[in-house]
C-alpha cells in the first residue's frame, strides 16, 4: 500500500507535465494534423446517422473511395445519434471545434447558416442544376447544403387488409378523404385482428414529429408559423384548422386506433399486428421484401387542403471554420456522384437526387415499385418554414404533439406552443 | 425459546436471500444477456433462463460492439481522464491537507471552513456557468507544427480533468486522517533538518495509505461514471468517455430497433471490471463509503 | 545555560514558524487555485449570468435584464374565466385573451399550470405560472425527494440491521447489496428501460404473481413513470447508505446492548432505547445526503424519459439542462441554478434544525 501510494504520487508529478500535452493531442478538428506533415490534409466529417448501418455504409464507401482517389485530402468520419446531433453541433460551434463537413437536416440549415455555423457551398454548377429541389438548401439565395436524396412519406397497407374491410384503394388522383379514412380506422379496429389500426411512428423523436405531422396539419389548413413574415405563430399554429388537426390526431390515440407507447423499432406492421403504417420511403424496402405484392404504398389522406408530405431531407454542408473548403466541397461533389446516389437509393430506399441516378435504381425507375414516391414528392411536397427560427419551432411543436398524443387538450397545447414560439422570436430579435 | 430463535433466524436468512436476488439478478441478467442473441434474450425473459448464460452462448454481441464503435478508444479516454484526476487529485489534495493539518499559517482555519462550505454546492448548479467559463479559457494546442494558444476548452481531455482535481471533500478526508498521526514525527524530522516537503513525502504519505485508498476510490468511481459534464463538453468521438458512448449508442440504436444484445455487451464491458475490482477490494470500498459518513 | 537554550529555541521556532507559514501557503496554493477557478468563479458567474439574457452560441450580445428571469421563473397567478359548456375550448379562448404575450393584463405571457372546471361547465379556474414547466419540475423533484428519502434510507437501515445480526456470510451479502452502487447510473437506467418495457422483465414477474395482469409500458404512462424511476433509483443507491448505517451501528458500544439485555429488554425495545439514539448523527447525515442527491435527479430522466410523458418526470436539474444546453438560454438557466442552490441550502438547514429540535 505504502509503495503504491508513493508510486501514484510520483506519477502525478509526471502527469502534471503531460497535462499540457493532453491539450495538444486533442484538437480533433479541421486540418492541423495533415498540414503539419505537409502531405495530406485531414477533413473531419460528422454524420447524424449512427445506428443506421445502411446509410453509414454508403458514406463510408464514398469516403474510402475518395481517400484512395487522391492524396491531398483525407476524410475522417464521426457518427452521432440523430437525437443529440443538433446539440453536439451547437456546442461544437460555440467552442470552434466544428468538423469540416457536416450533414444537416434541410429545415434546420437556415438556423445554422444564420448562426454562422455554415459557409456557403460552392459545387460544380452542372451538378447543382441536376439535383432535385428537395436535395438542395438555399438561405438568402445562397446554396448552403446539397444532398444525395429526398425522402417522401406515404401510408403503407396490405392489400388483403383493405379488401377484408371493403375499403377503397386510394390513388394519387383520388386520395382518401377524412371521412373515408376515419371509417377505415374504425373498421380495422372493429375486426379485432390487430393490436392497433395504425402506427404513426410516434416512437421516434426529434425532427420526425414536425416532419411527419406538420404536413398533416397543413392538410387540415393549419401551419407552424406565419410564412409571410416569419415573425409570429399566434393564429397559425393554434388556428382553428391546426386545433382541428390536434383534436383529430389525439383522438386516434384516445380511441385506441394508435398506441401512445409505440416503440421506435416499428416492426409491428410487417409482423401483422398493426394494420397501417405511416412511414418514409426508407422503410419500404423491408416491407416490400417481406410482403411483396400484398404491400400497398398509398398517398396520405386528404384532410381538406389535399394530401401533404414534408420535403427536404439530410444534406451535406461545410462549416464556417473549415480551413480547407476546397477539399470539403471536392468531397461533397464526390459523394454526390450518381454512383453513390444510386447506392444510397438502393440501400435505404430514398428518392435519388438526380434523374440520371433514378434511372439506374430499379425501384425508382418509371414503373418501379417505389416510383409512386416520386409522384408523392412532386405532388404533395411542402417545405418546412425556411427560417432560422425553425430550430426552436421544431422542438416546441414536437413537445405540443407529444402532449396531445398523451392526452393533453389540443387547443391548450397549441396555444402554449404559439406563445412559446412568439416569446422565442422576440427573444432572438426575430432572427434578423 | 430455542425454536423461536431459529424461526427468527430463518426469517433473517430468507430476507437476506430475497434482497440478494433483488440486487444481483438485474446484473446477472445484464451479463447473461450480453452472451446471447437478441432473439434469445426475448425468448428467455419468460423463465429463469433470463438470468443465466444458457442456450447458445457466444461472444457475437461483443464483436458487434467493437465492430460498430471505437470501444477501445472510449475505454482509453475514461481510463486516462480518471487516472489523471485520481493521481493529480491525490497529490494536490493531500498536500493541501498536510498544510492545513500539520503546518501553521495564517487563515488555515477559515480555509477549512471554506472547504467544508464548498461541499454544499451541487455540481449541477455550476455546470452551465462552468461551461461558459471553460469555453473562454486559453489553452496550448499543437497547430501546424508549433505550439499555439487557442481559446476554448471544449472537446479536450483538459476540460474533463481540470475541474475535478481539487476537491473539498478529499482534502477534508486527508485532514481528518493526518490529524490522527502523532505530532512527534514531524518534530523529530525538523530537528534532523528535513524540509516540509520531505516530511510530507517521506513521513506522512507512507503512513496515510487508507486515506489515499479512500480518496482514490471515490474519485475514480465519480469520474468513470460521470455523465452530465461530459455530455456537455465533449462532442468528438475521439474524446468520448464510456458512459456518454453508451448513452449515444443506446440512443442511436433505438431509432432502428434497439440492439439489446450489443447494449448489454457494452454495459457489461464497462461494469464488470469495476464489479470485479470492487469484489477484490470490497473492504477498502466499504471503508471509503463509511468514512464519507463523517461528512455529516 | 537555560536562558541561552530558551533564546535559541525561540529563535529557532520563530524562523520555523515563518518557514512553516511559507510552506503552508505554498502547499495549499494548487488546491485553492483550482477550487477558485472551477468552483468559486462559476458560482460567481452563475449569480451574474442569472441577471442577463445571455445565450450560448448566439450571434446576439447578452444584455442585463435585472430580475426578469426570476419573475418569469417564479411568478404564479390565479384566474377564473367564463366557459361555454357546449364548447370545451371556449375557456381556453377566454383565458388566451388574458394571457397572450401582447395582452395588457398581469397575466400576459403566463402558462397554464392547473385547471379545474365548475360542475355545470360555465366557469373555469386556472392556476397560471410564468414558467409552468419549472413548477411541474419542482413538484416532481420534491415528490421524488420526499418518497425516496424514507424509502431508500429506511430500506438501507433494514439491510444494515440484517447484516449486523447473527447471520453468517455478512461480507457476502454486504458485497452483493453494494453492487448496484458501483454500477453507473447510465448502465442502470438503460438496463431498467428494458425491465420496464411492455414485454420486459418487470411485467413478466408481475404477470406471474398477479392472475389476469395486463402488461404496462411503465415509462410511457404519466402516472407510473415517476414511481418507476423512484424504485429504480432506490435500488441503485440503497447499498451506499446501508454502509453508512453499518458504520453508525458499529460506533454503538456493545455494553449498552448487554445492559439492555440484563434489564430484560426485547429486540424492539433495544432498538428504541439503544440503537436508534446511537444512530442520531448517522440519521441526519443519511437524510441530508439522500435529499440533496434526490434534488439533483437528472441522469435517469435524461436517459429514460426526457421529462415525459406529459411532463410527469421533468425535474429541476433537467429543466436547467434543457434551458441552458438544449435551448442555449444560459442566462435563464443560471437563474434556475440560483433558485435550485438556495433550495438545497434551505433543505439542509431545515433538516438540521428539525433533527436537532427533536433531541
Answer yes or no: do A274 and A343 share one domain.
no
Contact of A271 with chain B, judged by CB distance below 8 Å, is answered with no
The CA distance from B162 to B160, in Å, is 6
**Greatest Cα pair distance in chain B:** 84
Is B148 strand, coil or helix? Answer: strand
Among candidate residues C120, C119, C124, the one with its CA nearest the CA of residue C98? C124
- Percentage of residues in chain B having pLDDT higher than 90: 45
Residues of A in contact with B74 (CB under 8 A): none
Res C67: pLDDT? 92
Give the strand pairing for C123-129 and C76-82: antiparallel
What is the CATH classification number for the domain harbouring A231? 3.40.190.10
Residue B65: closest C-alpha in chain A: A51
Query: What are the DSSP calls for C85-99, one per residue?
Result: TTBTTHHHHHHHHHH
Res A19: pLDDT? 42
Residues of C in contact with A234 (CB under 8 A): 100-101
Q: Would you say residue A1 lies in a domain?
A: no
The CA distance from A133 to A357, in Å, is 15
Residues of A in contact with C57 (CB under 8 A): 90-91, 93-94, 115
Answer yes or no: do A172 and A251 share one domain.
yes
Answer yes or no: do A92 and A241 share one domain.
no
Residues of A in contact with B156 (CB under 8 A): 22-23, 26-27
DSSP-assigned letter for residue C167: -
Query: What ipTM did this prediction achieve?
Result: 0.88
Residues in contact with A290: Cβ distance below 8 Å, sequence separation at least 6, in sequence order: A270
The CA distance from C280 to A72, in Å, is 71
Res B286: pLDDT? 82
Give the strand pairing for A381-382 and A309-310: parallel
Report how far apart the first and last C-alpha atoms of chain A are (Å, whole number).
64
Q: Do B128 and C334 touch (CB under 8 A)?
A: yes
How far, CA to CA in Å, does A399 sit from each of A225, B248, C309? 16, 21, 10
Cell of A270: 410487417
Distance from CA of A293 to the nearest CA of B (A): 24
Contact of B271 with chain A, judged by CB distance below 8 Å, is answered with no
Preceding omega of C148 cis (within 30 degrees of 0) = no
For chains A and C, count residue pairs whose Cβ atoms are closer than 8 Å: 68
Q: Do B213 and A1 touch (CB under 8 A)?
A: yes
For chains B and C, count residue pairs whose Cβ atoms are closer than 8 Å: 274
Distance from CA of C109 to the nearest CA of B (A): 26
How far, CA to CA in Å, does A219 sit from each of A181, A238, B73? 14, 15, 48
Residue A262: closest C-alpha in chain C: C220
Is B138 strand, coil or helix? Answer: strand
Q: Would you say residue A339 lies in a domain?
A: yes
Write the pLDDT tens digit of every residue in B141-196.
Answer: 776 677 878 788 888 999 999 999 999 989 988 998 898 888 888 888 888 888 89
> Rounded to the nearest 5°, which phi and psi values hold at C30?
-55, -45
The residue ranges of chain A whose pLDDT is under 50 are 1-2, 4, 8, 11-37
Contact of B288 with chain A, judged by CB distance below 8 Å, is answered with no
Residues in contact with C316: Cβ distance below 8 Å, sequence separation at least 6, in sequence order: C134, C137, C138, C141, C295, C336, C340, C343
DSSP-assigned letter for residue A102: E
Q: Would you say residue A97 lies in a domain?
A: yes
Contact of A7 with chain C, judged by CB distance below 8 Å, is answered with no
Contact of A1 with chain B, judged by CB distance below 8 Å, is answered with yes
Residue A116: closest C-alpha in chain C: C59
How far, CA to CA in Å, does A48 sit from each of A115, A215, B254, C279? 19, 23, 14, 53
Domain range B69-295, CATH class: mainly alpha
Res C105: pLDDT? 86
Residue A46: closest C-alpha in chain B: B236
Nearest to A412 among C60, C92, C220 (CB): C92
Q: Would you say residue A14 lies in a domain?
A: no
Distance from CA of B265 to the nearest CA of C (A): 11
DSSP-assigned letter for residue B105: -
Q: Do A2 and B88 touch (CB under 8 A)?
A: no
Which pTM does this prediction carry? 0.85
Contact of C217 with chain A, judged by CB distance below 8 Å, is answered with yes
Give the dihedral sign, CA A55/A59/A60/A62: positive
Query: What percentage of chain A's residues is helix, strand, coil (to nearest 5)?
Result: 50, 15, 35
Residues of C in contact with B20 (CB under 8 A): 173, 176-177
Q: Do C92 and A234 touch (CB under 8 A)?
A: no
Chains that touch C (3 or more CB pairs under 8 A): A, B
Q: Cell numbers 433466524 label which residue? A: B9
The CA distance from C122 to C120, in Å, is 6
Res A25: pLDDT? 38
The upper half-sphere exposure of residue B182, i.e. CA atoms within 13 Å in the direction of its Cβ, equals: 5
Residues of B in contact with A84 (CB under 8 A): 231, 248, 251
A57 lies in which domain range? Answer: 39-149+313-367
The residue ranges of chain C whose pLDDT is under 50 are 1, 359
Distance from CA of B20 to the nearest CA of A (A): 32
Write the pLDDT tens digit of every residue in B70-94.
Answer: 899 999 999 999 999 999 999 999 9
The CA distance from A345 to A337, in Å, is 12
Q: Do A50 and B252 touch (CB under 8 A)?
A: yes
Residues of A in contact with C327 (CB under 8 A): 392, 395
Answer yes or no: do A205 and A233 share one domain.
yes
- Count how many domains chain A has: 2
Nearest to C310 among A408, A416, A423 (CB): A408
The CA distance from C305 to C321, in Å, is 14
Contact of A53 with chain B, judged by CB distance below 8 Å, is answered with yes
Answer yes or no: do A130 and A46 share one domain.
yes
Residue B116 or residue B157, greater confidence: B157
Interface of C with B in 220-249 (CB under 8 A): 235, 239-240, 243-244, 246-248
The upper half-sphere exposure of residue A398, i.e. CA atoms within 13 Å in the direction of its Cβ, equals: 19
Distance from CA of C100 to the nearest CA of A (A): 7
Answer yes or no: do A126 and A194 share one domain.
no
Is C129 strand, coil or helix? Answer: strand
Residues of A in contact with B42 (CB under 8 A): none
Distance from CA of B279 to the nearest CA of C (A): 7
Domain regions of chain B by residue span: 19-58, 69-295
Residues in contact with B61: Cβ distance below 8 Å, sequence separation at least 6, in sequence order: B34, B35, B36, B37, B261, B262, B264, B265
Q: Do A23 and B157 touch (CB under 8 A)?
A: yes
Chains that touch A (3 or more CB pairs under 8 A): B, C
The upper half-sphere exposure of residue B73, i.e. CA atoms within 13 Å in the direction of its Cβ, equals: 16
Cell of B111: 480555509
Contact of B144 with chain A, judged by CB distance below 8 Å, is answered with yes
Q: Do B140 and A36 touch (CB under 8 A)?
A: no
- Alpha helix locations (H) across chain B? 2-33, 38-44, 60-68, 71-102, 108-118, 123-134, 158-161, 168-179, 184-191, 196-198, 205-207, 209-224, 228-233, 242-256, 260-280, 282-291
Res A8: pLDDT? 47
- The gap from C-alpha B283 to its chain's centroid, in whole angstroms, comes to 17
Contact of A10 with chain B, judged by CB distance below 8 Å, is answered with no
Contact of C332 with chain B, judged by CB distance below 8 Å, is answered with no
Average pLDDT over residues B262-280: 92
The CA distance from C311 to C222, in Å, is 8
Answer yes or no: do A187 and A228 share one domain.
yes
pLDDT tier for residue B245 given thresholds of 50, 70 and 90: very high
Among candidate residues C79, C87, B244, the one with its CA nearest the CA of residue A87? B244
Which neighbouring-strand residues pair with A198? A276
Answer yes or no: do A247 and A175 share one domain.
yes
Q: Do C109 and A423 touch (CB under 8 A)?
A: yes
Query: Is B174 in contact with B101 (CB distance < 8 Å)?
Result: yes
Cell of C162: 440484517
The CA distance from B122 to C273, in Å, is 36
Query: Is C178 in contact with C242 (CB distance < 8 Å)?
Result: yes
Among candidate residues C339, C75, C69, the one with its CA nearest the CA of residue B125? C339
Answer yes or no: do A357 and A265 share one domain.
no
Answer yes or no: do A96 and A127 share one domain.
yes
Query: What are the DSSP calls for A117-162, one per residue?
Result: -EE-----HHHHHHB-GGGEEEETTEEEEE-SEE--EEEEEEHHHH
The CA distance from C152 to C149, in Å, is 6
Cell of A426: 422576440
Answer yes or no: do A140 and A278 share one domain.
no
Contact of A16 with chain B, judged by CB distance below 8 Å, is answered with yes
Nearest to C217 among A87, A261, A406 (CB): A261
Q: Do A261 and C220 touch (CB under 8 A)?
A: yes
Nearest to A24 among B140, B144, B255 (CB): B140
C358 CB-contact burial (10 Å; exposed 0-12 / middle 13-18 / buried 19+): exposed
Res A319: pLDDT? 95
Query: Is C299 in contact with C233 (CB distance < 8 Å)?
Result: no
Among candidate residues B130, B294, A431, the one with its CA nearest the CA of residue C337? B130
Among candidate residues A240, A202, A196, the one with its CA nearest the CA of residue A221? A240
Distance from CA of B68 to the nearest CA of A (A): 8
Instruction: Tell me which of A49, A81, A270, A324 to substitute to probe the interface with B (most B C-beta atoms closer than 10 Å).
Output: A81
Residues in contact with B115: Cβ distance below 8 Å, sequence separation at least 6, in sequence order: B168, B171, B172, C35
Is B141 strand, coil or helix? Answer: strand
Amino acid at each position: 500500500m505504502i509503495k503504491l501510494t508513493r508510486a501514484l504520487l510520483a506519477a502525478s508529478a509526471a502527469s502534471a507535465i503531460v497535462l499540457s500535452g493532453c491539450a495538444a493531442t486533442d484538437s480533433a478538428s479541421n486540418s492541423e494534423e495533415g498540414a503539419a506533415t505537409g502531405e495530406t490534409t485531414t477533413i473531419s466529417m460528422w454524420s447524424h446517422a449512427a445506428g443506421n448501418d445502411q446509410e453509414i455504409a454508403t458514406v463510408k464507401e464514398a469516403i474510402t473511395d475518395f481517400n484512395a482517389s487522391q492524396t491531398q485530402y483525407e476524410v475522417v468520419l464521426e457518427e452521432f445519434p440523430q437525437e443529440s446531433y443538433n446539440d453536439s453541433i451547437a456546442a461544437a460551434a460555440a467552442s470552434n471545434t466544428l468538423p469540416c463537413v457536416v450533414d444537416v437536416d434541410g429545415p434546420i440549415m437556415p438556423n445554422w447558416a444564420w448562426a454562422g455555423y455554415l459557409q456557403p457551398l460552392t459545387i460544380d454548377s452542372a451538378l447543382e442544376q441536376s439535383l432535385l429541389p428537395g436535395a438542395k438548401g438555399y438561405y438568402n439565395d445562397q446554396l448552403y447544403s446539397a444532398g444525395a436524396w429526398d425522402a417522401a412519406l406515404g401510408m403503407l397497407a396490405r392489400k388483403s387488409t383493405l379488401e377484408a374491410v371493403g375499403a377503397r384503394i386510394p390513388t394519387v388522383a383520388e386520395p382518401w378523404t377524412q371521412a373515408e379514412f376515419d371509417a377505415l380506422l374504425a373498421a380495422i379496429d372493429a375486426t379485432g385482428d390487430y393490436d392497433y389500426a395504425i402506427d404513426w411512428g410516434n416512437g421516434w423523436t426529434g425532427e420526425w414529429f414536425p416532419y411527419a405531422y406538420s404536413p398533416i396539419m397543413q392538410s387540415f389548413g393549419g401551419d407552424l408559423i406565419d410564412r409571410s413574415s416569419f415573425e409570429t405563430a399566434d393564429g397559425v399554429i393554434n388556428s382553428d384548422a391546426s386545433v382541428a388537426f390536434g383534436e383529430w390526431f389525439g383522438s386516434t390515440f384516445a380511441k385506441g386506433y394508435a398506441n401512445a407507447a409505440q416503440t421506435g423499432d416499428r416492426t409491428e406492421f410487417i409482423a401483422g399486428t398493426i394494420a397501417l403504417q405511416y412511414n418514409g420511403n426508407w422503410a419500404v424496402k423491408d416491407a416490400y421484401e417481406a410482403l411483396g405484392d400484398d404491400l400497398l404504398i398509398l398517398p396520405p389522406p386528404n384532410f381538406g387542403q389535399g394530401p401533404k408530405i414534408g420535403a427536404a431531407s439530410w444534406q451535406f454542408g461545410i462549416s464556417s471554420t473549415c480551413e480547407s473548403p476546397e477539399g470539403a466541397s471536392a468531397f461533397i461533389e464526390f459523394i454526390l456522384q450518381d454512383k453513390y446516389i444510386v447506392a444510397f437509393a438502393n440501400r435505404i430506399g430514398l428518392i435519388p437526387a438526380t434523374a440520371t441516378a433514378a434511372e439506374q435504381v430499379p425501384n425508382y425507375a418509371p414503373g418501379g415499385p417505389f416510383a409512386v414516391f416520386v409522384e408523392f414528392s412532386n405532388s404533395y411536397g411542402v417545405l418546412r418554414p425556411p427560417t432560422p427560427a425553425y430550430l426552436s419551432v421544431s422542438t416546441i411543436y414536437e413537445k405540443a404533439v407529444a402532449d396531445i398524443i398523451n392526452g393533453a387538450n389540443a387547443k391548450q397545447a397549441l396555444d402554449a406552443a404559439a406563445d412559446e414560439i412568439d416569446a422565442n422570436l422576440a427573444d432572438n430579435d426575430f432572427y434578423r | 425459546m430455542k425454536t423461536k430463535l431459529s424461526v427468527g433466524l430463518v426469517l433473517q436468512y430468507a430476507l437476506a436471500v430475497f434482497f440478494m436476488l433483488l440486487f444481483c439478478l438485474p446484473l446477472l441478467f445484464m451479463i447473461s444477456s450480453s452472451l446471447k442473441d437478441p432473439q434469445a434474450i426475448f425468448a428467455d425473459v419468460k423463465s429463469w433462463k433470463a438470468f443465466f448464460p444458457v442456450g447458445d452462448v457466444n461472444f457475437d454481441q461483443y464483436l458487434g460492439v467493437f465492430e460498430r464503435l471505437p470501444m477501445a478508444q472510449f475505454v482509453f479516454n475514461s481510463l486516462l481522464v480518471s487516472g489523471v484526476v485520481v493521481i493529480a487529485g491525490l497529490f494536490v489534495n493531500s498536500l493541501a491537507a498536510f498544510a492545513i493539518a500539520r503546518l501553521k499559517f495564517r487563515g488555515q482555519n477559515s480555509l477549512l471552513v471554506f472547504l467544508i462550505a464548498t461541499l454544499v454546492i451541487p455540481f449541477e448548479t455550476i455546470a452551465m456557468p462552468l461551461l461558459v467559463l471553460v469555453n473562454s479559457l486559453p489553452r496550448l494546442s499543437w497547430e501546424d507544427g508549433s505550439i499555439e494558444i487557442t481559446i476554448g476548452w471544449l472537446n479536450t481531455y483538459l476540460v474533463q480533468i481540470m475541474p475535478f482535481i481539487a476537491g473539498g471533500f478529499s482534502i477534508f478526508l486527508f485532514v481528518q486522517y493526518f490529524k490522527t498521526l502523532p505530532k512527534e514525527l514531524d518534530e523529530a524530522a525538523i530537528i534532523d533538518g528535513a524540509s516540509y516537503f520531505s516530511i510530507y513525502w517521506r513521513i506522512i504519505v507512507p503512513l496515510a495509505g487508507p486515506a489515499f485508498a479512500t480518496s482514490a476510490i471515490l474519485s475514480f468511481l465519480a469520474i468513470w461514471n460521470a455523465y452530465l459534464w461530459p455530455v456537455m463538453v465533449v462532442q468528438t468521438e475521439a474524446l468520448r468517455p464510456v458512459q456518454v458512448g453508451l448513452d449515444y449508442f443506446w440512443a442511436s440504436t433505438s431509432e432502428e430497433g434497439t440492439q439489446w444484445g450489443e447494449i448489454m455487451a457494452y454495459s457489461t464491458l464497462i461494469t464488470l471490471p469495476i464489479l470485479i475490482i470492487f469484489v477484490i477490494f470490497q473492504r477498502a470500498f466499504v471503508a471509503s463509503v463509511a468514512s464519507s459518513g463523517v461528512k455529516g | 545555560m537555560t536562558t541561552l537554550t530558551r533564546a535559541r529555541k525561540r529563535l529557532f521556532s520563530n524562523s520555523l514558524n515563518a518557514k512553516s507559514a511559507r510552506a503552508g501557503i505554498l502547499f495549499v496554493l494548487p488546491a485553492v487555485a483550482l477550487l477558485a477557478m472551477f468552483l468559486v468563479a462559476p458560482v460567481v458567474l452563475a449569480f451574474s449570468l442569472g441577471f442577463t439574457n445571455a445565450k450560448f452560441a448566439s450571434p446576439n450580445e447578452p444584455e442585463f435584464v435585472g430580475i426578469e428571469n426570476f419573475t418569469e421563473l417564479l411568478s404564479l397567478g390565479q384566474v377564473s374565466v367564463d366557459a361555454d359548456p357546449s364548447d370545451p375550448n371556449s375557456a381556453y379562448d377566454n383565458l388566451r385573451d388574458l394571457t397572450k404575450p401582447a395582452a395588457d393584463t398581469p397575466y400576459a405571457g403566463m402558462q397554464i399550470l392547473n385547471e379545474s372546471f365548475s360542475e355545470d361547465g360555465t366557469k373555469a379556474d386556472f392556476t397560471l405560472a410564468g414558467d409552468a414547466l419549472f413548477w411541474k419540475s419542482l413538484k416532481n423533484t420534491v415528490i421524488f425527494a420526499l418518497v425516496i428519502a424514507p424509502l431508500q434510507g429506511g430500506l438501507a437501515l433494514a439491510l444494515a440491521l440484517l447484516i449486523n445480526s447473527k447471520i453468517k456470510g455478512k461480507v457476502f451479502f454486504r458485497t452483493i447489496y453494494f453492487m448496484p452502487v458501483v454500477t453507473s447510473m447510465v448502465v442502470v437506467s438503460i438496463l431498467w428501460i428494458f425491465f420496464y418495457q411492455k414485454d420486459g422483465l418487470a411485467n413478466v414477474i408481475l404477470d406471474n404473481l398477479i392472475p389476469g395482469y395486463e402488461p404496462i409500458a411503465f415509462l410511457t404512462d404519466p402516472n407510473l413513470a415517476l414511481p418507476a424511476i423512484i424504485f429504480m433509483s432506490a435500488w441503485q443507491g440503497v447499498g451506499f447508505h446501508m454502509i453508512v448505517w453499518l458504520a453508525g451501528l458499529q460506533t454503538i458500544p456493545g455494553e449498552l446492548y448487554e445492559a439492555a439485555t440484563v434489564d430484560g429488554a426485547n429486540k424492539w425495545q433495544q432498538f428504541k432505547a439503544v440503537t436508534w439514539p446511537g444512530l442520531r448523527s448517522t440519521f441526519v447525515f443519511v437524510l441530508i445526503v439522500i435529499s440533496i442527491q434526490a434534488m439533483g435527479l437528472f441522469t435517469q430522466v435524461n436517459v429514460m424519459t426526457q421529462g415525459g410523458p406529459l411532463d410527469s418526470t421533468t425535474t429541476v436539474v433537467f429543466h436547467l439542462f434543457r434551458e441552458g444546453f438544449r435551448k442555449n438560454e444560459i442566462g435563464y438557466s443560471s437563474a434556475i441554478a440560483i433558485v435550485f442552490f438556495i433550495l438545497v441550502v434551505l433543505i439542509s438547514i431545515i433538516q438540521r434544525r428539525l433533527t436537532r429540535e427533536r433531541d
